[in-house]
Every structure is written in structure tokens, then in C-alpha cells.
Structure 1
């Protein structure tokens, strides 16, 4: 588990003024990673680090001679078109690069002149998915989400008996994961209308969001090698925002007996910036279970996980309709919650995933599942916010939404802030719905 060090000092300032602005997502205490290039260019994508409103180009940094030793090797690995090589290096290399960058970006650093020439404005950059994602596993870590959904389908037995014992998950589709700014066509598939004798085929009518966090695997484990709870976080590079779009009407017809398929495989969107676990160290909180709930089994339990295995990450969902966009209106907030409400931790997800020897690879993605809090306004999906479509959401411009409509954009945001620590953010994760393309038979 990462401990606090001088990179977390809230008094640190950067020679880049924008990094010192109040409310900045990317102060010197954050330093998240992404893959980028200049908009409209034929440049190769390469790794970068956010500072204020700029990007430190890792390819330029690696050539500058500013870094030495393990930090220089890590920067070289991060200069590739995906972050997999950097992710595979492990905690010592990530920490060495973070410390070297922190020192180089601080006020009065002798490296300022060398680094300034390698900065790229974020407004002039385009991004790609941060890693080559070999596998994607989506978990179900919010007991509040699981209970809310269960009440709609099983009011007398909303939470199945295995939920409080085992981290539930399923294997998703990696190839359709896109980066923020992604547009996708409304999915099509089979649905069973209420009271009908046979299913119909056509565009989804109950398109939903899922407010999630994505956990990028760092150091791999060998096939047959389980990762213990005390070592699990050493295999995690960092966390991003994730919207796992869902077609609820298609899902309702297809999910029995094996689970979701077409209702989930058409698109998932991640934020470009990956915030490292080291950057999140000031925002660790105790992992606790409600009184009367079973405690985790021994392989999912440790003193360190109980003391600080959870993270207090604030999360928000914004919705912008085409009419709002045309009128120059920004997105309207429809949900605000925190990751601290999750029933299972990052370490528990990794440990359970590998307990039978499954080999995770650098760049693999684990989804947290929809992150809902204990109250309705903290629900991370429309199916909860609208009680299965019965209660539309009222938007500030007078429009209503029960499910997503064509042209709607959804914006996920995440940040951490508390007294005595620097505020850090995740940026945005944006996706927009396009009209369906129905195959002609």
C-alpha cells in the first residue's frame, strides 16, 4: 500500500501557473498519465503526464536528459504509443518517475527550461485509449446498485445470498472500449415487449449509463499464480473514469441464463487520464462493513485493506441534450456520489480475480460496476434514477429524460478533495449517442 511522501505535500507549487489554480484537476500532486498527440497531426501517439492545462510529453522528456536511472527508464517506457510497457514495470519504477517529475515541475526547479519546450497544451491534443486492453472484467461492487436493481425485479429478495460473500464479476468486451469523446450508434437487438408472445428486433429503447471507475492492471502475474490481498495493489497501475453503456431492454431479454451480451458489447468509454494509486494515497479511507454483514473471507481480508483499502473519490454524472447544446448550455448534473460506498475494494477485486491462478496482464481493465450511493440522488444509472423508467428526470431547460435519446451526451467527472490535502481530479469522460443503424435483411 502506497504511503504518503513529499510528492503529496499540499504546499507544493509548480512553475506552471495553471497547475496552481484553485479547482485545477491536475496540480503537481496528481501527475496522471494518458496517451496523446497534437490534433490534426500525423504524429505518433505517445505517453504524457498532465500538469495544469498542459501535457508533459514523455517522448520529449526521455530525450531531454533531465531524468536519470529508473525514472529515465520509466519515461522511455511511457513514451510508446500505449502505456502497457510502463504499466508492466511495477511500483518502484512508477514511483521513481513520479518523484522525478514532481521535482522537475516544482517552483525554482533547474529543469524548467528543459521541460517547457516539451509541453503540449491539452486543448491542442487528442487522446487515445491509454493501454492496449487485452481483457476487460466488469465487477458489481456497489451493494446499493445491486439492491436497487434487485428491488425492481425481485422485490421480495432484492439481494441474492452470494453478494455479500463474493465479488461478483463477468468478462466484458475489450475491443469496443473507446476514449472520452467517443460517439457510438444506438445498439440494436432482440427485446421482449411486455405481454408479447414473441420478441422483436430493432433499436434499443432503454439506453442507459453506468457510472464506474476503471482499474488498469500494472504488473502481471504468471498463469497459476494467485495474487494475495497484501500484494494486490502492487499489480494496479491506476484508476480512470468508465461509462459502461447498457441497453436495458436488450439486457432484460438476453441475460438469462448466462448474463449480458449484446446489451453491453457495443461501447464502453474511458477517460484519457489514469490517476495512479500513489496520487490517491491522501484519499484512502477505512473499508468497513455494515453491522451484521459477514466479514470478508480470509483470502479477501487484511489489516491494511481494512485500514485504508477504500478511496474517497467524488463522482458526478452530467447530461447534455441536443437542445441544451444548441442553446450553448452546459450539461446538467443528474447524479453525485462517492467511491467510498463500494462494497468491495480494488485489492479484493484483484485478489478474487486471480485466486484460481488467472493471469492478469499489464493493461487489462477491471470495471468497478455501477457506483451508486445509499440515496436515490446518488444512483449511478438511469434505471435507478427513474425507477425503471417510471419517473423521468427533469432537466433545467424543461426537458425530461427517462432513457438516453439520440444526440445526448453524458459527462462523467471525478475528483478528490479534503482538508489538509491537495485537490486532484480525473478530468472528464464524455460519450455521445448517435442514431441506430438497423441492418436490412
Structure 2
């Protein structure tokens, strides 16, 4: 094995944030301070605004840019892949154990490298639009079986031909650690009644997803080809697409999800770039029937990203792992999703968020929602440390994580956390 690149910054064995990762986020160094871009390494955050002000980004694409002096990553994301590669090359050099520029300048080093536990992470980008896809065949079959009563008719006829999606609510996308209030809304009429009920959701669920941030957008009326789509994707975060199943069931015909989804969507704070994920590229599932020409990829690939969901009940110190799945199971790739999104001329903008839809695998232990695990509440899901769930209770904290295991290093996404708090007036 070739020698691994190492950093002068302390990185513990098994860390999710070695020098091979360097995910981007936005943080406040102290209460009331202005947000600024940073990268994670070990248990530290590197303040990119400090490095930029010191003139350490000397490449042709970044030396005159003010992108790291902004309060979001949008300006940097808009620069495109050549600038992203230039930044990554510069950062890996500056943080490597053999480079003295930052390592030996103790004043600059103390200003630029901060303990992660002393900063506050905020939203990494200004999200203009958010689209949620339905890209897991296993999840689609499971849901179709539950709602239509049999696997034979589980998939609608269009599912294997088109990456189905819907437009979500960007305003309620929140950063990991934000509490999620149980929503109220209309639900189906009780047995024997004609009128719907208005009440707090009793069937609150999570959905384990991955989401991609759009880098450069496209002009209105000008589609992005499936083989150029990767150059429009800045990186990935874990997403919890919280879902109120009883509200969703009553409202979704004929126009799809609305209030059952728009009350909260949680993302992890660190954006892992495609360059950091390169070592984990793998073949995507075979598509049968073959995709239409505009969705046929010359180099069809996805990523081997193990993902996990745990629930920590109110008052408990330990979280119970209830699912282990993998991003690689998705039938429709992120490049196909982006190409389909733009094929009608729809213009994506920098900072737009494209979510994968619930990620479920082929086994019971790899399902990405309680709806599937409990078969719409008809079965109990046992928690690892005691207790059972059919759907989420007030006080439950849902913890999602994803870590790729490389040859001598890990590339992780951190955690996507959210705690359920009671509905208003309940």
C-alpha cells in the first residue's frame, strides 16, 4: 500500500474527517460572529476566510475570488469543478504534515484552525429550490405493496422509465441538531365518519436519504446531458426527510406530497465532495428495461456509502441502531436525476438541493423508513436497547450517519440529528 497522506493536524484513527476527506461547511466561530466557510479535519475546523485573507489560495481560479469571505458556500459552489479541484489541492498541501506554511506559523495557525466543539454549524448554502426523488426500487416496491396490496402491482408502469420526483419546501430545510415539531393537519375520516380529523400526526416517520448540492446551474431552456451532470454536482449531505404518514395519506391524491412533508427536512452540516468519494465509486444497479437515450450513461456509476439509522428515546443515553443500508442500492443515479430534472428546460441554480428519496436495501435490516419496517404500523420494530416503535414518539431523537471505509482511512459525513418535540397545543 502506498503511504497515506497525513496532516499535521491531529486526526485520530477512525476519524471521519482525515485529510482525504476535507468536507465543506459553514460555521460561526463564536456567538454573534458572522458565518464563514470552513473545512473539517479531525476534530478541528479550518476557517477558509482566514486562509484567503492571508493570500494562501494562489491558484488562477481562486487568488482573486472572494468566495471564502461569504456567509455561505454558494459563491464557491458556482465556480465549478476546476475551482473545486484547485481548492482541494491547495488545502491538502497546506494541511499536510510536510508543509511548513501553516504548520509553523503559530499565529496564523491559531486563527485558522479551531476546535470543532467550540463552533456552531449553520446551513452551508442558501437553498433556492429543493427536489426530492423516489430512486430506490426496493423502497418503491415496499411502499407500493403496502398501499396497493401486492408486489405484482407495486411499481407504477412509469417508475422504471423515469426518475420520479416532487418539489419540496426549501424554507423548512434545517441543519442537524434542530428540533422538529410534530405537525398538525388533516387525516383520513375515522371509521364510520365522513369528515376528516384535524389533529397532531400520529404516524410520524423518518426517511433516510442522501442529497446533492448543485454547483453551477444551467440556463432556462438548456438541458444538462446525463454525461455532463457530474460537473454540476458539488457534493453530498445526509438527509432526513421527515414524513407525517397520516397527513400524507389523506392529501397526496391527486397532486402528491404537501403538508405531510413540508414541516421539516434535516441535513448534515458537512458537504462531502465527489472528489473525496472517488475511492468509493462502484457500479450502479443494472437497469431493466434500458433507460431512454437521454438517461443512458456512458460511464454509469454510483458510490458505496454505508448508511445507518438509530433512534434515541427520550431520557435514554444510548441510541438503538435499527437500519444499515447503502447508497449504492439506488436504481436511479444522481446524474440521471439531474439530467431528467433539466431535460424539459428547467433551470437549476447554485445551491439547489436534489434528494435521493428513501434509501432501502433488499433485506429487512436495510430499510430506510419506519413505514416499511412496521408495514404501515402493523408490526412492532424492536429497539436495540429496549422498547418498540411503530412510528416516532415525542422525545425521540433520530440519528443518521454514513461512513465510507477506505484503505487506511475513512470518509464520513458526520451526523444528521433531529429530535421530535410535541405539536403546538397538544
Give the alignment's TM-score, normalised by structure 1.
0.92
CA contact (8 A) 1:203 1:438 kept: no
User: Partner residue of 1:304?
Assistant: 299
Matched residue SS, 1:287: coil
1:130 aligns to 2:124 (yes or no) = yes
Deviation of 1:302 after TM superposition, in Å, equals: 2.2
User: Partner residue of 2:211?
Assistant: 214
Q: Tell me how far apart the structure 2 counterparts of residues 289 and 15 of structure 1 sit (CA, whole Å).
A: 43
Pick aligned residue for 2:138 from 132, 139, 144: 144
1:176 aligns to 2:163 (yes or no) = no
Unaligned runs of 5+ in 1: 1-8
CA contact (8 A) 1:34 1:273 kept: yes
Q: Tell me how far apart the structure 1 counterparts of residues 173 and 291 of structure 2 sit (CA, whole Å).
A: 32
Q: Tell me how far apart the structure 2 counterparts of residues 323 and 233 of structure 1 sit (CA, whole Å).
A: 44
Q: Tell me how far apart the structure 1 counterparts of residues 126 and 15 of structure 2 sit (CA, whole Å).
A: 29
Q: Tell me how far apart the structure 1 counterparts of residues 390 and 254 of structure 2 sit (CA, whole Å).
A: 27
CA contact (8 A) 2:190 2:197 kept: no
User: Partner residue of 1:437?
Assistant: 424
Deviation of 1:331 after TM superposition, in Å, equals: 1.2
1:54-93 aligned within 5 A: 54-70=44-60, 72-73=62-63, 76-93=66-83
Q: Which runs of 4+ in 1 moved over 3 A?
A: 70-76
1:51 aligns to 2:41 (yes or no) = yes
User: Partner residue of 1:389?
Assistant: 377
Pick aligned residue for 2:271 from 274, 279, 283: 274
Pick aligned residue for 2:13 from 22, 34, 51: 22
* Count of paired positions: 419
User: Partner residue of 1:186?
Assistant: 182
User: Partner residue of 1:317?
Assistant: 309
CA contact (8 A) 2:180 2:421 kept: yes
Q: 1:301 to 1:354 in 2, by over 3 A?
A: same
CA contact (8 A) 2:128 2:352 kept: yes
Q: Tell me how far apart the structure 1 counterparts of residues 91 and 281 of structure 2 sit (CA, whole Å).
A: 23
Pick aligned residue for 1:38 from 29, 37, 54: 29
Return 116-125 or 208-217, whichever deviates more: 116-125
CA contact (8 A) 1:182 1:430 kept: yes
Deviation of 1:235 after TM superposition, in Å, equals: 0.4
Unaligned runs of 5+ in 2: none
Matched residue SS, 1:317: strand
1:269-418 aligned within 5 A: 269-289=266-286, 293-305=288-300, 309-324=301-316, 329-418=317-406
Deviations 1:28-47, CA, capped at 9 Å, x for gaps: 000100010124x2110010
Pick aligned residue for 1:425 from 368, 393, 412: 412
Q: Tell me how far apart the structure 1 counterparts of residues 324 and 68 of structure 2 sit (CA, whole Å).
A: 33
Pick aligned residue for 2:194 from 172, 187, 197: 197
Q: Tell me how far apart the structure 2 counterparts of residues 10 and 296 of structure 1 sit (CA, whole Å).
A: 41
Superposition RMSD in Å: 1.7
Deviation of 1:68 after TM superposition, in Å, equals: 0.6
CA contact (8 A) 1:320 1:332 kept: yes
